[in-house]
Amino acid sequence: MSLEKILTLTNINDITDMVSTYLKKPVVIENDQFLLLAYSSYYIEHFDQANRQTIFTKHWPIPILEKFMDEGIVEQLKTVEHPFRVKQIEEIGLNQRVVVSAVHKGQVFGFIWVQETEMMTDSDLEFLHEVSHHIGKLLYQKKQINMKKDEEKMSFIKRSLTKSIKRKTK
């Protein structure tokens, strides 16, 4: 499996599975609102308590969010362009991990979390960085499609209301 293969994929679940298999580590992908989009683990027993809570609730539980805010991790997610390590935080059941923001056109669209069951190499970090650009682009495209659909719905509602008002005023 290669980076080139992953960069041809458009399904976030498939990409997550391939990244997890390549790195042999648990991977979680979230959108820019910290909502769970996909997860995969090469070895299922490697998911830590923080991963399990996020998977079960589909987003960060409040204690994790608060701790990440207190530790400055949320701010780093918005400003650091390359993968960075988040040290183990026992009180929230978090093992050490590497995280990178999925950025496209200078905007953060999501996050890729890799539980560091073993230290990642520089080439692993570069691989993750390259994948993050692809995921950022896919999440951007998905957001654009959703915005277009929302605009079409609003336009339809507006036209329907306008027609209804015109009928009532005649």
Q: How far apart are CA 65 and CA 118, in angstroms?
A: 25
The CATH superfamily label for domain 3-169 reads GAF domain (3.30.450.40)
- Token reading at 124: 């692993």
% of the chain beyond a pLDDT of 90:
59
Alpha helices, DSSP H, located in 7-121: 12-23, 49-57, 62-70, 73-79
Going by pLDDT thresholds of 50, 70 and 90, the confidence category of residue 133 is: very high
The CA R_g of the chain, rounded to the nearest whole Å, is 19
- pLDDT band at 1; cut points 50, 70, 90: low
**Mean pLDDT computed over 42-49:** 73
**pLDDT at position 169, please?**
66
* End-to-end CA gap in the chain: 67
What is the number of other CB atoms lying within 10 angstroms of the CB of residue 115?
A: 22
Tell whether the model's pLDDT for residue 111 goes beyond 90.
Answer: yes
Alpha-carbon distances, residue 132 vs 7, 54, 85, 101 (angstroms): 10, 20, 15, 7
